[in-house]
Structure 1
Amino acid sequence: MALHRPITSGLFGLLALSAFALAHAQSHGMGLKPSATVQQVLPLFATDEERAEPLPQRVSLKQWAIEPGNQKEVRAC
């Protein structure tokens, strides 16, 4: 019987707190106030049809690559 009293009072306390929280809950905005006027949508990136020149057939990334070599103790070759 002594064990049930703290559990019961704890549950009653949680119920009272949740009821209090629901009673005082207010809906509020998240800070965004959209403009009343509609803004024109602008494209961010050019599409393939708008490109001035076609893409190259081959591309080399050798100027940015590191030459492979002996990794010694790392053994990550």
Structure 2
Amino acid sequence: DGFSCPGGLITEEFGAKVLFDIEASYDYDDTTKFTLGARNVTDEYPDEADYYKLRETGNGRIYRSDSIVDWQGGFVYLKASKSF
């Protein structure tokens, strides 16, 4: 079952997004560092797309997984690192 489009190539336009990430580190000692950070602090999501036309996703997904905007929204993290 091939997919054809009466108008030819299917294109979509998406709006611009501005993402903000923050990170702060604390050097506990010469070899231990703790970092607290947040990615996408304004909790932006990719634009929804007409995937039924492109057959890009299935099972109810509305965002592409290859978008530069995280499709899961924002998140925070705590990281510990140790150098030897």
Q: Same fold (TM over 0.5)?
A: no
TM-score, normalised to structure 2's length? 0.20
The normalised TM-score by structure 1 is: 0.21
CA radius of gyration, larger in: 1
